[in-house]
Amino acid sequence: MTTRSVIITDKASGKSVECQVYEGQYGAPVIDLKNIYKELGMFTFDLGYASTAACRSAITYLDGEEGVLMYRGYPIEQLAEKSTFLEVAYLLINGELPNQQQSGDWSHVIKMHGMTHEHLSRFYQGYRYDAHPMSVLAGVVSAVASYYHNTTDIYNPEHRRLTAQRVIAKMPSLVSKIYRYGSGLPFVYPDNSRDYVENFMYMMFAWPTEPFRANPTAVRALDLLFILHADHEQNASTSTVRLCGSAETNPFACVAAGISTLWGKAHGGANEAVIDMLTEIGEPKNIRKFIDRAKDKNDNFKLMGFGHRVYKNYDPRAKIIRQACHDLLNEMNVNQPLFEIAMELERIALEDEYFISRKLYPNVDFYSGLIYQALNIPTNMFTPMFALARSAGWIAQWMEMLSDTNDFRIGRPRQLYVGAAKRDYVPMASRP
């Protein structure tokens, strides 16, 4: 909604441009700069797009200063306490929580799309047994696109809905097969008598010769992690999915692009880095030494899991997951030395002026890896777990972008060119 305008003036030329200002439901007002090049012959310069709104979205809102995160208007705290991941996925896709009939239909259709083409099972064999799971996941999800390249009309709302169902349904099978292949275990097909998260754990951990029964506490802990990771506004991987989708790319290829971005240590790979850091610390008595290293400008060591690009307050997801970590370890009677190190590290850091003044609070990655580890999920599978959950948000964002028919266009950022001026070609014999 337009509420006012601002005028930008180039003092050198005296030219001005009037820019409309839009107010969202929450958050800072946004200046519409689409006419700035036309009127002033200039572009804006915004490293990392930290001050740029690249889209309109009604899916997720976060307030980094206040530590607020909402999906479709519902606070993450309420969804974490009362909902399930599959229900949250429905909310992200459809905009509303399902009623009883819709919930049953949604669960049924996700189960019906849980299988993958049998030929795809051979795809995994092309990778080394010790390949990083995110490398395999990006490849296999992109390969799924080959099964739907002639049957998906991205401009057909029903096809987009079907695509969303396929993505959410198939990701557990794709991810679990990566773990099974790397472990030398046979693949396990979905069991439609089980709920979404329990079924995933069954495909991950079932032993061919034994019945499998998941621990309810473990199921709930993993379900909670999936809820917390389901979406997070216009982060690097979500922006990648949108940018890829703006070129009218196959949606599974868009998700694969998001997976590749999520793989980065500064994004989804941070939970792996936290476990590596806690392992390096070794014992609580060593924490002070590592905190001093983090504060030393001449030392490259960083405390992983602290601070966030957006949150300048305590990450609301970290508060929820911290308690879940306590509950899981207590109820399952798991001996987790790294959790004790994490607790003490958090306590010391939050009392240190260095971290307080810089608003470096624990983020969701600080504790999520500890839960994955308690569930016997290998460290290199942490980020694929993140990708499984985030795929619901990615495909919801993709759907929203394509449904905005008035403003849909290919993404094309500009640049500030600082290279060489125009010059003539010099034959090799004449070059210095």
420 within domain boundaries: no
Residue 31 is which amino acid?
Answer: I
The reply to whether 258 and 279 lie within a common domain is: no
Q: Is the pLDDT of residue 405 over 90?
A: no
428 within domain boundaries: no
The reply to whether 362 and 387 lie within a common domain is: no
Closest-CA residue to 305 (of 256, 350, 353): 350
277 within domain boundaries: yes
Q: What tokens does 170 get?
A: 């198939």
Look over the chain and give the mean of its residue pLDDT values, rounded to a whole number.
Answer: 91
Alpha-carbon distance 365 to 41, whole Å? 43
369 within domain boundaries: yes
Q: Is 8 helix (H, G, I), strand (E, B) or coil?
A: strand
Q: Could you tell me the CATH number of the domain that includes residue 289?
A: 1.10.230.10
pLDDT band at 25 (very low <50, low <70, confident <90, very high): very high
Range of the domain at 13: 2-53
pLDDT, residue 309, reads 67
The reply to whether 92 and 181 lie within a common domain is: yes
pLDDT, residue 135, reads 96
Active site amino acids: 308, 365
409 within domain boundaries: no
Q: Where are the beta strands (DSSP E) in 333-405?
A: none
Q: Look at the chain and report how many structural domains it folds into.
A: 3
The reply to whether 167 and 256 lie within a common domain is: yes
The reply to whether 17 and 99 lie within a common domain is: no
The reply to whether 106 and 163 lie within a common domain is: yes
**Per-residue pLDDT reduced to its tens digit, 133-167:** 999 999 999 999 999 987 789 999 999 999 999 99
Q: Are strands 74-75 and 68-71 parallel, antiparallel or unpaired?
A: antiparallel
The reply to whether 146 and 240 lie within a common domain is: yes
Burial of 166 (0-12, 13-18, 19+ CB in 10 A): buried
The reply to whether 84 and 174 lie within a common domain is: yes
Q: Could you tell me the CATH number of the domain that includes residue 86?
A: 1.10.580.10
Q: Which residues contact 272 (CB under 8 A, 6 or more apart)?
A: 265, 369, 379, 380, 382, 383
Q: Is 63 helix (H, G, I), strand (E, B) or coil?
A: strand
The reply to whether 94 and 164 lie within a common domain is: yes
136 within domain boundaries: yes
Q: Is the pLDDT of residue 56 over 90?
A: yes
126 within domain boundaries: yes
pLDDT band at 312 (very low <50, low <70, confident <90, very high): low
Phi-psi category of residue 186: left, alpha or beta, with phi > 0 → left and psi -120 to 50 → alpha: beta
Q: What tokens does 200 get?
A: 């995933």
Q: Is the pLDDT of residue 362 over 90?
A: no
pLDDT band at 391 (very low <50, low <70, confident <90, very high): very high
Alpha-carbon distance 62 to 385, whole Å? 22
Better-scored residue on pLDDT, 37 or 370: 37
The reply to whether 147 and 80 lie within a common domain is: yes
pLDDT, residue 152, reads 82
Q: Which residues contact 209 (CB under 8 A, 6 or more apart)?
A: none
The reply to whether 341 and 388 lie within a common domain is: no
Q: Could you tell me the CATH number of the domain that includes residue 34?
A: 2.20.28.60
pTM of the model: 0.90
Distances, alpha carbon 372 to alpha carbons 137, 225, 332, 386, in Å: 18, 9, 13, 10
CB 48 within 8 A of CB 60: no
141 within domain boundaries: yes
The reply to whether 222 and 103 lie within a common domain is: yes
